[in-house]
Structure 1
């Protein structure tokens, strides 16, 4: 299997485990590094489409999930993708400032007999990505709670 060059690997970073690599790649799609790598969501529709297609393939492989057949991105999707990236980055800063991830997505979650949570996403390519980000964060949180127990109780 050929490894796709993702937003994360172009910086020489090791991808996060499993589906969390999708979340990491959304954040790493911005321009950064030395030499400076381009903003994958600000360099035109073709660049963004190529990034998303590779991201979806890598996610499907990492999660042993069939690759979803997403419609092509459209020009109005680009600012929505950049807003999603900004929201995810804000959440990861952990400074208490809420982020909405509010573009909207319909996410169907189901727990299988093996205890694994599966997700089905609808809403075009941006809605799918919003749902996948939320689903992977929840999946990681569920796995952490299952292996370490719940965190401290509030209050």
Structure 2
């Protein structure tokens, strides 16, 4: 699979269908330097959607989804809200390590349960336009939660970056998508700020 939004940040995609959720979140203008927002214009949004749906299991994802201007606006708002929640949840987890993530506004979207001839039950997206895209995203979120992978999808702590990454650390403690690119510079800035504060304090005594 190709994940056009995530690939441009040189980030390893999340496992399985969670990579689709990650790619949606990474359509936002982020990184250093900032990349283009892939959901800003209808043509770009449609091209992104068509790209990420290529190669998916046709039994799960059969119907074409076409986006108009209103669809793109709604999809962009959904993406921004989910991404902000992920970022806030990570900050809350640092303050309260044993606490749960915050809450999202309640939403209801359709999906279809299909029983295949071999007895497999499939959850398939329903609806049209942006609602079909969100239905597909929520299905992948559900699968990731069942696999206990959802909690590892995070937004890089660096305000100069903010890309969405999958935390592969053993204890799920990662906060930077790349420690060398984002962690070390941020820690150096924090160290210098503390040092200036200490020097100012010392000079007043």
What TM-score, normalized by structure 1, do the two folds share? 0.74
1:5-154 superposed matches below 5 A? 6-42=4-40, 44-58=41-55, 60=56, 65=59, 67-93=61-87, 94=89, 95=92, 96-100=101-105, 102=107, 104-109=108-113, 118-144=122-148
Runs of at least 5 residues in structure 1 that lack an aligned partner in the other structure: 146-155
Whole-angstrom CA distance in 2 between matches of 1:46 and 1:79: 13
Runs of at least 5 residues in structure 2 that lack an aligned partner in the other structure: 93-100, 150-205
Change (3 A) 1:91 1:34: closer
SS for the counterpart of 1:144 is coil
Query: Quick one: higher RCO (CA 8 Å, sep 6+), 1 or 2?
Result: 2
Query: Shift of the alpha carbon at 1:27?
Result: 0.7
Whole-angstrom CA distance in 1 between matches of 2:109 and 2:24: 16
Q: Deviations over 1:39-81 (max 9, x none)?
A: 0011x111110001111225x15xx745432242101111111
Q: Deviations over 1:79-114 (max 9, x none)?
A: 111111023213423244322363x42112457798
Where does structure 1 differ by over 3 angstroms across 4 or more consecutive aligned residues?
Answer: 64-67, 109-117
Change (3 A) 1:85 1:126: same
Kindly indicate whether the alpha-carbon contact (under 8 Å) linking 1:110 and 1:119 is maintained by their aligned counterparts in 2. Answer: yes
SS for the counterpart of 2:112 is strand
Q: Deviations over 1:97-149 (max 9, x none)?
A: 322363x421124577989652122111311221112111111222339xxxx
Q: How many residue pairs were aligned?
A: 138
What TM-score, normalized by structure 2, do the two folds share? 0.58
Cα RMSD (Å): 2.8
Kindly indicate whether the alpha-carbon contact (under 8 Å) linking 1:121 and 1:132 is maintained by their aligned counterparts in 2. Answer: yes
